[in-house]
Amino acid sequence: MSAQKVRIAWIQGGAAECEIKPPLPPRVFRLVLLGAPGVGKGTQAELLCERLGTCHLSTGDIFRAAKCLAAEQRSPALDSALGYMKRGDLVPDQTVLDLVRERTRCVRCHGGFLLDGFPRTVAQAEAFDQILQKEDIALDGVLNYELPIEKVVARLGGRRTCPGCKAVFHVTGRPPRVEGVCDHCGGKLQQREDDRPEAVRVRMEVYEKSTKPLTDFYRKRGLLVNIEAEGTAEEVYQRTLDALNSSHSA
């Protein structure tokens, strides 16, 4: 059962329906996911959805899939978003909100959801609150993964990518068998420009500045769950579960 098939309603929006309904988990979670680049947010999203049965709703997946959808499968909001992306512009709040509103049935998914990439601004968060209230749905928490900037620099700064097969390695965490050479195709590993330490620091500063109003917004509503992202994926996952259970019983 592929994730793509399960999330067809999220990818296409409108009247599209998932071909396979996710099983009802023992406990339903409705969560928002936050975290800077390099904190391991993607890995945690995979683990949470696989083990808790929640549906991973990523706005990034919508944008990536939109490029492959036929014109008749794209909504006006999706066409508008593609236009901004092709020009290299940020997709504005209103367009992103229109895309989410087209997919409200996914928010009602009986298996719950893990929303990734939205909301990104307080305006989006306020509008999403209105959507949830209309559907009589409440968030269980907003997971905010945190890692000191030096740790993020070390993680991303050590990442090496193969330009041929796109495999990803790390100089200390996941080194190739031969230094600088891809294990799979023998290509020469490279460091992405935005993974260089100076670029990572700039990205982190931009992220923290833009995200602080959003974390403040959810903190005031008692929904923010800060999680230390240092350690193995399993350790961070267990920390996440403990934090969720603690906040639920509080």
- In the residue annotation, 159 being an active-site residue is answered as yes
Active site annotation includes 120: yes
- Of the listed 105, 196, 201, 203, which one is catalytic? 203
Q: Which of 41, 74, 103, 160 is catalytic?
A: 41
Active-site residue identified among 7, 74, 155, 159: 159
Active site annotation includes 221: no
**Calpha distance 35→208 (Å, rounded):** 9
Catalytic residue status for 105: no
82, two tokens: 């593609």
Given the residues 27, 67, 192, 212, select the one marked as catalytic: 192
DSSP per residue, the chain: --HHHHTHHHHH-TT---SSPPPPPSS-EEEEEEE-TTS-HHHHHHHHHHHH--EEEEHHHHHHHHTTS-GGG--HHHHHHHHHHHTTPPPPHHHHHHHHHTTHHHHT-TTEEEEES---SHHHHHHHHHHHHHTT----EEEEEE--HHHHHHHHHTEEE-TTT--EEETTTB--SBTTB-TTT-PBPB--GGGSHHHHHHHHHHHHHHHHHHHHHHHHTT-EEEEE--S-HHHHHHHHHHHHHHHHH-
Selecting among 120, 151, 196, 201, the annotated active-site residue is 120
Distance of alpha carbon 147 from alpha carbon 142, whole angstroms: 16
Query: Is 192 part of the annotated catalytic residue set?
Result: yes
Spacing of C-alpha 15 from chain mean position: 24
Residue 168 backbone class (left: φ over 0; alpha: ψ -120 to 50; beta: rest) = beta
Q: Which residues are catalytic?
A: 41, 120, 159, 192, 203
